[in-house]
Amino acid sequence: MADLSESELTQAVLDRVGGATDARTRVISQALVRHLHAFIAEIEPTETEWKAGIDFLTAVGQMCSDTRQEFILLSDTLGVSMLVDAINHRVAGAATESTVFGPFYVEAPTFANGETIAGHLEGTPMYIGGAVTGAGGQSLPGASVDVWHSDEDGFYDLQKLHEGQGLAGRGRFFTDERGRFHLWTVRPTAYPIPDDGPVGKMLTAQGRHPYRPEHVHFMIAASGYRTLVTHLFAEDGTYLDSDVVFGVKQSLIKPFVQRTGGRAPDGRTMTGDWIELQHDFILAPEAA
């Protein structure tokens, strides 16, 4: 088929990709063509602008490495990651809400309940504790609880591996016979996503800041239940209303309680300032 006009081209491509033998591949390919062609028809880019777009995506790919995923940052900052999350977690009832996974997860070392994941990180001591239950309130012993967060300067351990520093601020715990877990670490802070690459330039061009509000990541898994990926956000934090990745949900904003001295929930005698974060997580059944 030759000499296709502007109005005929889209349908010709749809017909061509319609030959995919896998039904899902066919649906996705045709939707991609329809929306991409509609986007181009709407903005009518110059050839220079289209090349700039291709150069941008090329630069995003070139920025990716073992410790940095620029395409995840692009997905996050355009709200696509949260849209995919919302579509895949349409869970009714009291289950804890999910949010964006983020680009800084790696499988963490295992710790016993009550141990610290702070490693070489410095900052205000922070106690984190809670329980994991099913939607009916039943305790879930043996559930895995992955926790990770930034340091007090806003960096994740993966961002400093080149400095010879090891993993810190992340760990995996397992709930006890009552479905409970607890740990120590140091308080994180609000931070900018890596903005020295093409995604950062995009944010500047869009008149946006690169910051995420203060939060702690959790990934919780138990047999027979949907794996939960979520955050808890500090209720006194900044950027809650303008999170660069659109990840804040009201139900996930919690008090990071300021304490001084006294006795911690695990019986530890404390001196000086420390933070307490308590939250119980509810998992949705696998069939939801």
Contact 145, 220 (CB under 8 A): yes
Residue 123 CB contacts under 8 Å (≥ 6 apart), including other chains: 151, 152, 186, 187, 188
18, 150: one domain = no
91, 211: one domain = yes
Question: What is the arithmetic mean of pLDDT over 251-276?
Answer: 97
Asked if residue 71 has pLDDT above 70, the reply is yes
Question: What is the arithmetic mean of pLDDT over 81-109?
Answer: 90
Q: How many Cβ atoms from other residues are within 10 Å of residue 265's Cβ?
A: 10
User: What distance in Å separates the CA atoms of residue 281 and residue 217, rounded to the nearest whole number?
Assistant: 13
Specify the amino acid at residue 114.
G
30, 120: one domain = no
23, 137: one domain = no
Asked if residue 288 has pLDDT above 60, the reply is no
Q: How many CA atoms lie within 13 A of 81 on its CB side?
A: 22
What radius of gyration, in Å, describes the C-alpha atoms of the chain?
23
Domain-embedded: residue 182: yes
Tell me the pLDDT band of 64, cut-offs 50, 70 and 90: very high
115, 25: one domain = no
Domain-embedded: residue 105: yes
DSSP string, 171-203: EEEE--TTSEEEEEEE----EE---SSHHHHHH
Domain-embedded: residue 163: yes
151, 27: one domain = no
User: What distance in Å separates the CA atoms of residue 217 and residue 144, rounded to the nearest whole number?
Assistant: 14
Say what the pLDDT of residue 25 is: 98
126, 219: one domain = yes
Domain-embedded: residue 92: yes
The tokens describing 238, both together, are 């900044």
CATH code, domain carrying 192:
2.60.130.10
Instruction: Sort 212 into a burial class: Cβ within 10 Å, 0-12 / 13-18 / 19+.
Output: buried
93, 200: one domain = yes
Q: How many Cβ atoms from other residues are within 10 Å of residue 214's Cβ?
A: 24
Residue 52 CB contacts under 8 Å (≥ 6 apart), including other chains: none
Domain-embedded: residue 161: yes
Domain-embedded: residue 36: yes
21, 163: one domain = no
Say what the pLDDT of residue 119 is: 92
**Number of domains composing the chain:** 2
Tell me the pLDDT band of 159, cut-offs 50, 70 and 90: confident
36, 171: one domain = no
The one-character DSSP state at 5 is: -
Tell me the pLDDT band of 160, cut-offs 50, 70 and 90: confident
**Phi-psi region at 62: left, alpha or beta (left = phi > 0; alpha = psi -120 to 50):** alpha
Say what the pLDDT of residue 161 is: 78
User: What distance in Å separates the CA atoms of residue 97 and residue 159, rounded to the nearest whole number?
Assistant: 28
Domain-embedded: residue 53: no
Domain-embedded: residue 269: yes
87, 24: one domain = no
Residue range(s) defining the domain that contains residue 168: 74-283
Contact 174, 155 (CB under 8 A): no
107, 34: one domain = no
Say what the pLDDT of residue 116 is: 97
User: What distance in Å separates the CA atoms of residue 255 and residue 157, rounded to the nearest whole number?
Assistant: 25
In whole numbers, what is the pLDDT of the chain averaged over residues? 94
